């Protein structure tokens, strides 16, 4: 019963598509289709490499500050442990509170750094992604493509190698990237 309902629904869907097509007077055939391997673009495009390098440099810089803050906490803990025998209870509480405060500051700093790094990553990679989109669109218009698809998505189960234009897109991106 369920299969019959699905089949009937599918037929209804198909008839609806053909009616919409006829009603709009569409006689458009897709004649030229290209596919682009976006994973190769991300790996090989200089703009993406530059964005990744900038992020790594920024991350390394911030990581150094995190390590410095950790070092301060470690020294405070070692000092606390070495002097805990001779410290009064109030001094122990004071030292313990100081350590906890430093830990809280470190956690807040790490949270802020992660937030800032994420924003920078989105900004830098976003620029590169926009450049890729513009380049693909310009190439598609110039070469009279009806459609260019991302073949790294799971929706494309098969495509002939002859319609793969990844190398051409990489060349166009390299020309643009070299001008910057």
**DSSP assigned state of 36:** E
What's the pLDDT tens digit per position in 22-78?
444 455 566 888 989 999 999 999 999 999 999 999 999 999 999 999 999 999 999
Ramachandran bin of 7, using left for φ above 0, alpha for ψ from -120 to 50, beta for the remaining angles: alpha
Asked if 128 contacts 45 with a C-beta cutoff of 8 angstroms, the reply is yes
Burial 40-70 (b: 16+ CB within 10 A, else e): bbbebbbbbeebeeebeebeeebeeeeeebe
Contacts of 177 by beta carbon, 8 Å cutoff, 6+ apart:
45, 46, 47, 131
Give the tens place of pLDDT for each residue, 12-38.
Answer: 344 444 444 444 445 556 688 898 999
pLDDT at 8: 43
pLDDT at 5: 45
C-alpha–C-alpha distance, residues 36 and 68, integer Å: 45
Digit-coded pLDDT (tens) for 132-180: 999 999 999 999 989 898 888 667 767 777 888 889 999 999 988 775 5
Q: What is the pTM of this model?
A: 0.65
* Residue 21: per-residue pLDDT: 40
Tell me: pLDDT of 81 over 80. Answer: yes
Residue 121's pLDDT is: 95
Asked whether the predicted pLDDT for residue 2 surpasses 50, the reply is no
């Amino acid at each position: 019963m369920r299969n019959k309902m699905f089949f009937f629904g599918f037929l209804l869907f198909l008839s609806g598509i053909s009616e919409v097509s006829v009603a709009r007077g569409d006689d458009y055939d897709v004649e030229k289709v290209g596919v682009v391997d976006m994973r190769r673009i991300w790996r090989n495009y200089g703009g993406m490499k530059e964005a990744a390098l900038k992020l790594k440099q920024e991350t390394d810089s911030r990581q150094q500050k995190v390590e410095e803050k950790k070092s301060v906490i470690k020294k405070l803990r070692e000092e606390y442990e070495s002097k805990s025998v001779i410290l009064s209870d109030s001094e122990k509480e004071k030292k313990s509170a100081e350590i906890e405060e430093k830990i809280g500051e470190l956690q807040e700093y790490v949270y802020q750094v992660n937030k800032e790094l994420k924003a920078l990553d989105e900004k830098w990679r976003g620029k590169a992604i926009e450049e890729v989109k513009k380049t693909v669109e310009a190439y598609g218009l110039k070469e009279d493509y009806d459609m260019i698809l991302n073949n790294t998505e799971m929706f494309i189960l098969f495509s002939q190698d002859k319609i793969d234009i990844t190398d051409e897109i990489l060349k166009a991106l390299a020309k643009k990237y070299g001008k910057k």
